[in-house]
Structure 1
């Protein structure tokens, strides 16, 4: 028994009578060896369990705090002590387990380690997206929790919380699942069940818009107006402007690089960053190619058609990047970040509300599919690495279906003694009913 300790059966009366005396001391139970009270000089009194972690006199003595006096009764503390001592007999070390638990990674700490890994292994845009989603939705909810204790029910609740944003919910679940797979495989976490696996995904409603010929005409007209005379604007009705410009001076123009970027997006089916980050050194005018050293799918070659080549040929070189930005020609030249403001203005002027800039890529593919060029060719032009990605345009590939339908129809018509071929459907007054 250590100095400053006495033995007595711990009851409520004993607990109430035990008062601080200016020094730390213990009161141990006379019936359950190891169970006791710890009284601090500062006045705090707690129920504790003391035991040897191992066998023999050389085994270290350890202590586990059960609870502060007042939070549980002496009987409840005694029952908890019995459970702890029983686990010690089985070979467990509750004090070590408690220390390990305190040191265990929180969800936020694990997320930070994972994001550092992503920054080294994946593209910068991917790392930014991962961080934004985790910091906006997962870390505020689960950040302080121990990563190893996050359950599938926790992830399901988080997924349900984002039901109004199905794409975000699905993407976040995929990122968390990837994070736990990485942590378990790398032994950052002990082998546990991945809490994000098995989450039922929301049905992803893909927002795909395909421009029609007349809509492309409207967009082209707005684009030409914006780069020549400018698009008129009106001050917001809810804002008071003392010195507003005269109506004839309320015109917004876009510069040649921005206009070229939008034309190239529509004419090549390229992704936005592929055009904004395009350097002149990547343009092969002689062979009519864009030789991209890096893209979403790695190295990529984009075949330039004659109109796209004309756009590039007529564009003045202002710096390293084809779509010159504000820092063009300077030592620290950077590509344009986006085309949000000019695109919003053009879409509004063309009357194409809701049209996204990525829909230009879909439109490029839709014209190819509608022209009967075949999905493999379209996939090559778009730089798809998997044929399944191009399948979204299968319903637009109508020509093969039309030819097949005509072939079947002609065969049936021939069997009926008629020859319709590709003729127009007969007028109603010329239809002759067949006898049954």
Structure 2
């Protein structure tokens, strides 16, 4: 029979023998004084704290069941908090009540969205909710779409929806970062880590959490910068595929993504009211950076928009859709069809945006000009960008677009003439 006093671990607890029928065995943790584990003949293993409150009698306080999923680390954390409270004269009953009143991670996330993200108009609320559900919390129970896939948690993720904030420790955050990086990539791991960090930071700032942020000293993973864009030899087959397609929405989405260098969400939500074809300008009022951006339009982009204006039955959206947004929202399938037809591999929709800036660099544009063209926001370069006039920006965009169309062996003319 093992000693009744040992260092609690998951493996050692699982290996404990069961007592005889009608009996119960109590074990003591060598790591945390007062932490006990009581094992019954039925296999129930329950953590408890045996501690004397200041000026009172010793009491045993149940902390949770190992059998039902309470970990050794969680039991130790709760025991330490209760011991601290009891040493200051707080009764075990009051200490337990305070522990039960503590926010869960799911409640803290909801509070962060409701009381911070929404009032401050953060643009990434939907992305944060998606990251929380995929990597950190519970998936909402929503009816499965008729032809859609069943939603599931991402590999390597956790479900901390009902975990008390104080039970989440740095070691678990590091493990989450490692598992997500391994299963889903470094970007997913960083998204989850940043979300944990901001939620805990805000709860600490608001007095809802008194401990140390478990993600504070866990660094983000380095992500290699991507340099994929449309190469010269890829342009002719792409423009040939665009000329042949009957899907004018996807065709024009690809063309305008290339020619404006704008983000996918901005191109999809492009409004006619924000476009001035006479001045060859497109004003994006709502960007990721939070500031409006003026995009200088090349002649080819203006021609594409004029063609759409005469053929698209929408007074509001350049790319109207049937969903609740009113505009097209999911071009990935159509874009992939075009790329497959052109036999172009490993190119993403974001690489279309990167193409303009890359060709601007190829045709001699300076980095400030490129940044201004793409609406980049950089602390070091903001003042330089602000001093740039529209003329050199438009000239650079025109030069790069002209090079793209020239490399496409005049296929661009065929597209706009259709």
Q: Which residue of 1 aligns with 2:196?
A: 176
Q: 1:226 to 1:188 in 2, by over 3 A?
A: same
Instruction: Flag structure 2 segments of 5+ consecutive residues without an equivalent.
Output: 1-21, 23-47, 67-81, 138-157, 383-418
Q: 1:86 to 1:134 in 2, by over 3 A?
A: closer
Q: Across the two proteins, how many residue pairs are aligned to each other?
A: 292
TM-score by length of 1: 0.61
Give the root-mean-square deviation of aligned CA atoms: 3.2
Distance between the aligned counterparts of 1:306 and 1:129, measured in 2?
A: 35
Map residues 261-272 of structure 1 onto 2, 5 A cutoff. 261-272=253-264
1:205 Cα deviation from its structure 2 partner:
2.8
TM-superposition CA deviations, 1:104-152 (whole Å, max 9, x none): 111122122223332443445x112111222222224323321023211
Distance between the aligned counterparts of 1:262 and 1:177, measured in 2?
A: 36
Given that 1:257 and 1:324 are in contact with CA atoms closer than 8 Å, whether structure 2 keeps it comes out as: no
Distance between the aligned counterparts of 2:87 and 2:96, measured in 1?
A: 17
**For 2:296, which of 303, 309, 312 is the aligned residue?**
303
Map residues 105-254 of structure 1 onto 2, 5 A cutoff. 105-116=103-114, 117-123=116-122, 126-139=124-137, 140-164=158-182, 165-190=185-210, 192-227=211-246, 254=247
TM-superposition CA deviations, 1:159-183 (whole Å, max 9, x none): 1111222110011101110111111
Q: Which residue of 2 aligns with 1:352?
A: 344
TM-score by length of 2: 0.63
Instruction: Flag structure 1 segments of 5+ consecutive residues without an equivalent.
Output: 1-15, 17-46, 55-60, 72-83, 228-253, 391-436
Distance between the aligned counterparts of 1:67 and 1:143, measured in 2?
A: 22
Map residues 281-300 of structure 1 onto 2, 5 A cutoff. 281-297=273-289, 298-300=291-293
Q: 1:378 to 1:53 in 2, by over 3 A?
A: same
Given that 1:63 and 1:95 are in contact with CA atoms closer than 8 Å, whether structure 2 keeps it comes out as: no
1:65 Cα deviation from its structure 2 partner:
5.0
- Which has more radius of gyration? 1
Distance between the aligned counterparts of 1:48 and 1:308, measured in 2?
A: 71
Distance between the aligned counterparts of 2:85 and 2:171, measured in 1?
A: 28
Distance between the aligned counterparts of 2:87 and 2:329, measured in 1?
A: 64
Q: 1:129 to 1:283 in 2, by over 3 A?
A: same
Q: Which residue of 2 aligns with 1:257?
A: 249
1:217 Cα deviation from its structure 2 partner:
1.6
Q: 1:313 to 1:189 in 2, by over 3 A?
A: same
Given that 1:48 and 1:67 are in contact with CA atoms closer than 8 Å, whether structure 2 keeps it comes out as: yes
Map residues 315-334 of structure 1 onto 2, 5 A cutoff. 315=308, 316-319=311-314, 320-326=316-322, 334=326
Range with bigger deviation, 199-208 or 86-95: 86-95
Local SS of the residue matching 2:228:
coil
The answer to which structure, 1 or 2, has the higher relative contact order (CA under 8 A, 6+ apart) is: 2
Q: 1:50 to 1:199 in 2, by over 3 A?
A: closer
Q: Which residue of 1 aligns with 2:400?
A: none
Q: Which residue of 1 aligns with 2:361?
A: 369
Local SS of the residue matching 1:313:
helix
Distance between the aligned counterparts of 1:197 and 1:273, measured in 2?
A: 31
Local SS of the residue matching 1:200:
coil
Distance between the aligned counterparts of 1:89 and 1:323, measured in 2?
A: 66
Q: 1:389 to 1:224 in 2, by over 3 A?
A: farther
Distance between the aligned counterparts of 1:313 and 1:94, measured in 2?
A: 74
**For 2:61, which of 52, 60, 66 is the aligned residue?**
66
Distance between the aligned counterparts of 2:367 and 2:354, measured in 1?
A: 13
Distance between the aligned counterparts of 2:120 and 2:85, measured in 1?
A: 44
Given that 2:250 and 2:335 are in contact with CA atoms closer than 8 Å, whether structure 1 keeps it comes out as: no
